[in-house]
Amino acid sequence: MVPLMVQLGLDARWNVIKGNDEFFAVTKKFHNALHGREEAITRDEYALFLEVNRKNLDEMKLHGDIMFIHDPQPVALVEKRGELGGKWAWRCHIDVSNPQAEVWEFLRKFVIKYDGAAFSAPSFAQTIPIRQFMVSPSIDPLSDKNRELPQETIDSVLAKYNIPADKPIITQVSRFDRLKDPVGVIQAFDLVKKSIDCQLVMAGGTATDDPESEVVLKEVRERAEANPDIHILLIPPGSDIEINALQRASTVILQKSIKEGFGLTVSEALWKAKPVVASAVGGITLQVKNKFTGLLSHGIEGTAYDLKQLLSNPEYAKWLGENGREHVRQNFLITRHIKEYLLMFLALYHPEETIYL
């Protein structure tokens, strides 16, 4: 995003804080705690967090009219606000609506020193006495994950994973994690399969920091073993073109999460004009307006019902897919994202509801 801002004429710079393994172990704990998981964080660990932030403040040559700090890790850089001046904004990329109280209280002291904060969805925010803006994340249409692909590439990926192209393909792209309900996906597929001959592709990696991930993958493989129409693909990180090709080869794309952050994979699917069936959780409801840009479901039976509807009615599926692509084009591309950041910077200088430039 910084190169695009520079092209727009802004003197935008991106600085990265430095930290040792211990610091990142602490921030990982913070991350989990903000997601609501119970984490025991010692006084020394809080001290280490502050110490690394302070050290970075001393080493970094920060200057600018607007300081835009991303994520909790460098949140304490705001301590230098008095000295550096300018406007300060904090970007929160995660859902902090239900955090572990102690960690949030610790971070909140810093957050409220900013002029404003940006959250990805209204449900991700916290009650804080500073202005909060909603800035949804976005996809880059020119990246490997989203750009147009030649048919040969798509065919070669299908061939690589032995997926025949003669049957409709239902795909869910997500890591093997209980929160993505992979077993539920197979159950819904089994219900669809009773009346429609189709195949299921589940593509993703395992979460390295989650030991349960391997267990889930094993369980999913066992469930899928008996059915040759279920393809479980463990895709290594960085295989964006392969994910892109699998999405483009799909007839319907599924995102049956039980809990979700923003769930940008939905926008990635919609950008490819694919009809989507997704759970009504997290940021998905912002991307899928039920029956306009996709179908929202709640349970296994509902998901199966929606999948059958789309597989049996290709015209309806096509209409939803095209609406979905247009919805992403208007609201979830990187260009909209930059526009909102710039507007937010303006709003930091103007408290009024209508700003005349």
- For the CB of residue 130, give the shortest distance to another protein in the complex, in Å: 11
Listed residue (190, 310, 305) closest to 252, CA to CA? 310
Is position 112 an interface residue for another protein (rule: CB under 8 A)? no
CA-CA distance, 162 to 120, in Å (whole number)? 38
Among 281, 300, 310, 333, binds another protein (CB under 8 A): 281
Nearer to another protein by C-beta: 84 or 280?
A: 280
Listed residue (302, 276, 300) closest to 289, CA to CA? 276
Contacts of 125 (CB under 8 A, 6+ apart): 92, 96, 97, 117, 119, 132, 134
What secondary structure letter does DSSP report for 79?
Answer: G
Strands (DSSP E) contained in 7-126 are: 66-70, 87-92, 116-119
- For the CB of residue 28, give the shortest distance to another protein in the complex, in Å: 25
Among 42, 143, 156, 290, binds another protein (CB under 8 A): 290
Is position 6 an interface residue for another protein (rule: CB under 8 A)? no
- For the CB of residue 282, give the shortest distance to another protein in the complex, in Å: 7
Nearer to another protein by C-beta: 231 or 327?
A: 327
What secondary structure letter does DSSP report for 290?
Answer: B
Is position 335 an interface residue for another protein (rule: CB under 8 A)? no
Is position 339 an interface residue for another protein (rule: CB under 8 A)? yes
Binding mask 129-148 for another protein (x = CB under 8 A): --xxxxx-------------
Piece of 20-28, 66-74, 269-277, 338-346 that binds another protein (CB under 8 A): 338-346
b/e per residue 270-298 (b: at least 16 CB within 10 A) = bbbbbbbbbbebbbbbbbbeeeebbbbbe
Chain positions contacting another protein, by CB under 8 A:
119, 122-123, 125-128, 131-135, 280-282, 285, 289-290, 292-293, 296, 298, 323, 326-327, 330-331, 339-340, 343-344, 346-347, 353-357
